[in-house]
Amino acid sequence: MKAAVVNDPSQPPQYLDFAQPQAQPGEVMVTVRGAALSQLVRAQACAKHYSSPKPPFVPGADGVGVLDNGERVYFAFPRNPVGAMAERVAVSADCVVAIADGIDDLTAAAIANPGMSSWAALTERAGFEPGESVLINGATGASGRLAIQIARHLGAGRIVVTGRNPATEPELLALGADRFIPLQQDEQSLAAQLRAEMDAGIDVVLDYLWGPSAAAILRAADGHAPGQAARRVRFVNIGSLGGANMELPASALRSSGLELLGSGLGSVSNAALVRCIGQLLQAIPVAGLHVAAIARPLEQVSRAWVDDSLQERIVFVP
């Protein structure tokens, strides 16, 4: 069969022949109709993610396809070495979920991974309750924009967002954010604005950036009256686009109500992540969730992989 194949992690995948997998006990075969190019897939393909397989392999964490019985499904975590960017994949039976007729393949494939990141972080890791306030660190990308929509759909009382580009503020507010804090400002001004929001009450932080901006948020969480316990703040790291490491003083934890969590592969079971995506797909028509996406033939994978001109999320179609 044809597939996108990684032989060298330093190079884009190539459109090549690859052995078709056969279903093992507990698995189903899926004929792929679309597989999205996400930050996770990019990191796995270039050996920069803790879950990266060894070459040669087919990249792709999830997608949309059809079971042998004709049922259209979303699927995730196909068995290595054949990821989703192939004509056929073998997937654990508990890692597929049916797709409603009103949701097209492109939308389902494109929205699943970025939408799952905040849905799982809120419901599986943070134990989010309706009415709570959420701060989204790094809300200008596809995942962050969906996080605004999802937090609002799940009942957030107030949503504060950060981003590097101030020009995105009107768009983020239109999606449901209540306040935008630009990250490109002097350190003291940023600290003051974050401290003001923490003092006003933030219950959950969804962090897509890590690095300096996350450190600033953590430092801002220690304000409270002498002799009183600080407000509980569940800080959930989802990504590290702002840096893989940061300095965290021990006193930041002792002097605050911070609870540090992560949300990703390993912190949530595969079955639970797929369950979250099933809930996300059901919410698309109700909440009006949307993500900018564009389809590209899988045979163009090498060229599209490095095409920086595309703002939409790419979905490869075999």
Does 48 share its domain with 79?
yes
The verdict on residue 268 lying in a domain is no
The verdict on residue 158 lying in a domain is yes
Domain boundary residue among 262, 279, 301?
Answer: 262
| Each residue's pLDDT expressed in tens, for the chain with a length of 318 residues | 999 999 999 999 999 999 999 999 999 999 999 999 998 899 999 998 888 899 999 999 999 999 999 999 999 999 999 999 999 999 999 999 999 999 999 999 999 999 999 999 999 999 999 999 999 999 999 999 999 999 999 999 999 999 999 999 999 999 999 999 999 999 999 999 999 999 999 999 999 999 999 999 999 987 655 677 888 999 999 999 999 999 888 888 888 999 999 999 899 999 999 999 999 999 999 999 999 999 999 999 999 999 988 889 999 999
The verdict on residue 127 lying in a domain is yes
Give Cα 23 to chain centroid, integer Å. Answer: 28
The verdict on residue 32 lying in a domain is yes
pLDDT digits (tens, 9 = 90+) for 290-300: 999 999 999 99
Does 125 share its domain with 241?
yes
Does 129 share its domain with 248?
yes
Range of the domain at 6: 2-98+288-317
Does 190 share its domain with 125?
yes
Helix (H, G, I), strand (E, B) or coil at 81: coil
Does 213 share its domain with 308?
no
* CATH code of the domain in which 295 resides: 3.90.180.10
Nearest to 274 by CA among 61, 3, 75, 14: 75
Does 199 share its domain with 125?
yes
The verdict on residue 110 lying in a domain is no
The total of structural domains in the chain comes to: 2
The verdict on residue 103 lying in a domain is no
**Global confidence as pTM:** 0.90
Q: Are 154 and 148 in contact (CB under 8 A)?
A: no
Q: Are 36 and 314 in contact (CB under 8 A)?
A: yes
Which residues, other chains included, contact 226 with Cβ-Cβ below 8 Å and sequence gap of 6+? none
**What is residue 223's predicted lDDT score, i.e. its pLDDT?**
64
Q: How far is CA 313 from CA 37, 46, 227, 229, 309, in A?
A: 7, 18, 49, 43, 11
Does 249 share its domain with 171?
yes
Backbone angles phi, psi at 116, to 5 degrees: -60, -35
For 164-178, give one letter per residue: b (16+ CB within 10 A) or e: eeeebbebbeebbbb
Does 27 share its domain with 141?
no
Domain boundary residue among 245, 262, 279?
Answer: 262
Does 126 share its domain with 241?
yes
The verdict on residue 108 lying in a domain is no
Does 250 share its domain with 144?
yes
Does 245 share its domain with 126?
yes
Does 123 share its domain with 207?
yes
The verdict on residue 90 lying in a domain is yes
